[in-house]
Amino acid sequence: MTSNGTDFERTPGGAVLMNGNKLRDELIANLRQKVEADGNPEICLATVLVGDDKPSQLYVKSKGKKAVEAGLQSRHVGLAATSTQAEVEAAVAELVADPTVHGILVQLPLPDGLDPEPVLDMIPPAKDVDGLTERSMGRLVRGKPGHVPCTPLGVMRLLDRYGVETTGKRAVVVGRSTLVGLPQVLLLGRKGVDTTVTLAHSRTTDLVAVCQEADIIIAAAGSAKMITANHVKPGAAVIDVGVSRTEAGIVGDVDFETVQAIAGHITPMPGGTGPMTIACLMENTYAAYYMANPR
Ligand code: NAP
């Protein structure tokens, strides 16, 4: 790929393929170089997994692997599904107090019967590399320094890397969760990004018409293939965040086959936003080290 974007990989229909695996690898390699240039400080990401949910185990494993590739240290705390609230909180308290741990990620959801809120509340903003605690979200709203949630941040990196114009453009975010949709709206509306954003959800009337007005569609609903060619204005950028596990395998919110024929840019699923979430987690962990150890 060149910086002018003329030879980006394209889909059969001619849309630029926003390759999240490729960009993740670039970001991780850059991070490794930065860590080496800094003299290899010991920057540690701690992951906490409660229970034995298979997809969560896979996510945590791949986060640990990518941390090492980025030149970071990875520490894993695995707790039994039968752990009590107090045991989970004690494990997190230990990581909060440990100066050799710079970023803490508690894999959600926690098993039934455990309340994630008090656990997340324990993580100070500097170590909250997932950016999902109340204090981090408050900082995002207020425009103060802090960690930005990894999935919407990864979407912004994809838009930037693949040269999608944002200033003065219209964007629609489908989904209003605090994990993805809400922070995504804030990031798209920031000064310097400057899109005019519409937040759509399950009560939105005539979603097709709302999406047809958009230059950028970010689908984060978790509803398999709900965004079809019908929703898409020719040339729009379509970013798929949704993940649905179906009998046919993992499926996104976007009907890739039909949409790629009309979109200007499109993410694949898998290989789009998922890898970018992990890359941004590593970037946040690197930044966390320098929050604790200002240069
Ligand atoms: P969530 O908390 O379940 O929120 C889903 C949102 O989508 C809700 O706001 C819901 O509206 C809206 N929605 C659902 N069906 C809709 C429809 N048919 N039309 C319009 N809006 C609809 O989910 P989440 O945590 O934000 O995650 C969203 C998806 O992204 C999931 O599939 C998740 O697995 C995936 N995800 C992917 C990554 C990644 O790295 N790629 C990271 C995180 C999450 P209401 O508010 O009205 O109910």
On whether both 90 and 47 belong to a single domain, the answer is yes
- Tell if the pTM clears 0.85, that is, is over it: yes
Task: Please tell me whether residues 182 and 250 are part of one structural domain.
Answer: yes
Q: Are residues 76 and 176 in the same domain?
A: no
> Domain for residue 184, yes or no?
yes
Q: Which of 66, 127, 128, 130 is catalytic?
A: 130
CATH number (domain holding residue 223): 3.40.50.720
Q: How far is the CA of 92 from the centre of ligand 1 (A)?
A: 27
168 and 211, same domain (yes or no): yes
When divided into structural domains, the chain yields a total of: 2
pLDDT at 3 over 50: no
What is the pLDDT confidence band of residue 4, given thresholds at 50, 70 and 90?
A: low
pLDDT tens per residue, range 158-181:
999 999 999 999 999 999 999 999
156 and 266 share one domain = yes
Runs of H (alpha helix) within the chain: 20-37, 54-69, 85-97, 116-121, 134-142, 150-161, 181-189, 207-212, 256-259, 273-292
Q: Looking at residues 191-216, what average pLDDT do you find?
A: 98
193 and 159: one domain?
Answer: yes
Look over the chain and give the mean of its residue pLDDT values, rounded to a whole number.
Answer: 96
Q: Is residue 207 part of a domain?
A: yes
Q: Are residues 189 and 248 in the same domain?
A: yes
Q: Per the domain annotation, does 291 fall within a domain?
A: no
Same-domain check for residues 115 and 189: no
Instruction: Tell me, using a 6 A CB cutoff, whether residue 198 lines ligand 1.
Output: no
Q: 184 an active-site residue? A: no
Range of the domain at 154: 150-274
The DSSP symbol for 148 reads: P
* CA-based radius of gyration for the chain: 19
Residues 127 and 186 in one domain: no
Residues 6 or more apart whose CB falls under 8 angstroms from that of 25 comprise none
Residue 201 CB–ligand 1 contact under 6 Å:
yes
Tell whether the model's pLDDT for residue 5 goes beyond 60: no
For the stretch 105-163, pLDDT in tens is 999 999 999 999 999 999 999 999 999 999 999 999 999 999 999 999 999 999 999 99
User: What CATH number is associated with residue 72?
Assistant: 3.40.50.10860
Q: Are residues 126 and 60 in the same domain?
A: yes
Query: In whole angstroms, what is the distance from residue 55 CA to residue 122 CA?
Result: 25
* Residues β-bridged to residue 48: 77, 106
